[in-house]
Amino acid sequence: MNLPAAAAAPRAAIEGHFSVLAPNVYFDNHFDLEAAKILPGEYYVTQHDMVLVTVLGSCVTACIRDRLSGIGGMNHFMLPDARPDSDNPVSLSARYGAFAMEVLINSLICLGARRTLLEAKVFGGGNVLPGMTTMNIGQRNADFALGFLSTEKIRVVARDLIDVYPRKVYYFPKSGKVLVKKLRKVHNDTIYRREIEYGARLVKEEVAGDVELFG
């Protein structure tokens, strides 16, 4: 595990319920690399040659790296279920989305990434949780991530969003390479159950703290 990343990450990110440094680090024999598995509400940053892995339903992941140093990371989040004021930039929904993105970016900068060299790849937002909300939550998640990155002037160099299938994403920050597999046949309900449980936590809990971008 990259202890410098954990030490540098904002305290609210580590102690709060919304964005947690991913604890599941293992060796991937297929890629012959150390790997980190990112679950809903988690993120990971690294300066080493690793593969970051996540499985997405309606959630989105932002894969962000310094294109010269290869310092990069991944998050995995969704917006809380829609509220009447969900389009308000100070609403709980928008505040949580911004928190999830800012924690990742600030952690990258703490590791030495340069903000002016950041580039992003965005995935997920599938319409895989019918009935969860009156709006398409996958579309809302995708729109938020793209809008946030546009506002922060972080260039999006690749995306694979929406559709009706879950996705498995492998991200290699050192090179910027991404492998995406659409899971057209899912043999159990693990993906859906994780996202439903995660969505329920977001409704019950408050944002752990505000994070300001720096660098």
pLDDT, averaged per 10 consecutive residues of the chain (215 residues), comes to: 40 40 90 95 94 93 98 90 50 74 95 97 84 69 95 97 91 97 73 63 50 41
User: What token pair was written down for 85?
Assistant: 């004021």
- For residue 110, indicate whether it is catalytic: no
Q: Which of 5, 35, 50, 59 is catalytic?
A: 59
Amino acid (1-letter code) at residue 8: A
Spelled out in words, what is the top-level CATH class assigned to the domain 3-203? alpha beta
Q: Which of 119, 155, 133 is nearest to 58 (CA)?
A: 133
**pLDDT at position 2:** 52
User: What token pair was written down for 153?
Assistant: 């002037």
145 alpha carbon, distance to own chain's centre: 9
**pLDDT at position 20:** 67
The number of C-alpha atoms within 13 Å of 6 and in the hemisphere containing its C-beta is: 10
